[in-house]
């Protein structure tokens, strides 16, 4: 009986070690993919016509999107921290306080991401 247990242990231990070595890179790739995946913010269209578009956008922590150049009036319904990533590599953190209003003038497009821990909600009026 002891010999059988020793043989069984001699076969199972290496099998579990090999399975662990094979599974580790797969887990690391899954974590890396989850970290790289950026969620999309929720956009609620309020109204629009041939000149302007009015919408509310909610960025949960980690959400991001591409922003096209344009003239915008933005009001923070719920504040937080967004990070702008410009095509030239420049990164810019933008703090929003609840009720704060800004006029964003046309610039080059950029990507924006919520780098804070709280949801950021913005009310935006943009020209078409």
pLDDT at position 64 is: 96
* pLDDT score at 7: 56
- Residue-wise DSSP of 3-48: HHHHHHHHHHHHHHHHHHHHHHHHHHHHHHHHHH--PPPEEEEEEE
* 29 and 78 housed in the same domain: no
Are 68 and 30 contained in the same domain?
A: no
Instruction: List the pLDDT tens digit at each of the 128 positions of the chain.
Output: 566 656 555 655 555 544 555 445 544 455 444 444 569 999 999 999 999 999 999 999 999 999 998 999 999 999 999 999 999 999 999 999 999 999 999 888 999 999 999 999 999 999 98
pLDDT given at position 33: 46
Query: In this structure, are 16 and 56 located in the same domain?
Result: no
Query: What pLDDT is attached to residue 34?
Result: 45
- Same domain? 29 vs 64: no
Radius of gyration, CA atoms only, the chain: 25
Domain around 31 = 1-37
Residue 82 sits in a domain whose CATH number is 2.60.120.10
Q: What is the DSSP string of 35-101?
A: HH--PPPEEEEEEE-SSEEEEEEEE-TT-EEEE----EEEEEEE-EEEEEE-TTS-EEEEEE-TT-E
């Amino acid at each position: 009986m002891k010999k059988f247990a020793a043989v069984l242990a001699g076969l199972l231990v290496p099998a579990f070690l090999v399975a662990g070595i094979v599974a580790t890179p797969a887990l690391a790739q899954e974590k890396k993919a989850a970290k790289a995946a950026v969620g999309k913010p929720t956009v609620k269209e309020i109204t629009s016509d041939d000149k302007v578009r009015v919408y509310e956008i909610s960025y949960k922590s980690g959400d991001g999107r591409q922003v096209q150049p344009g003239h915008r009036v933005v009001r923070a319904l719920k504040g937080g921290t967004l990070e702008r990533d410009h095509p030239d590599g420049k990164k810019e953190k933008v703090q929003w306080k609840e009720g704060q209003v800004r006029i964003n003038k046309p610039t080059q497009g950029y990507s924006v991401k919520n780098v804070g821990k709280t949801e950021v909600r913005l009310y935006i009026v943009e020209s078409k």
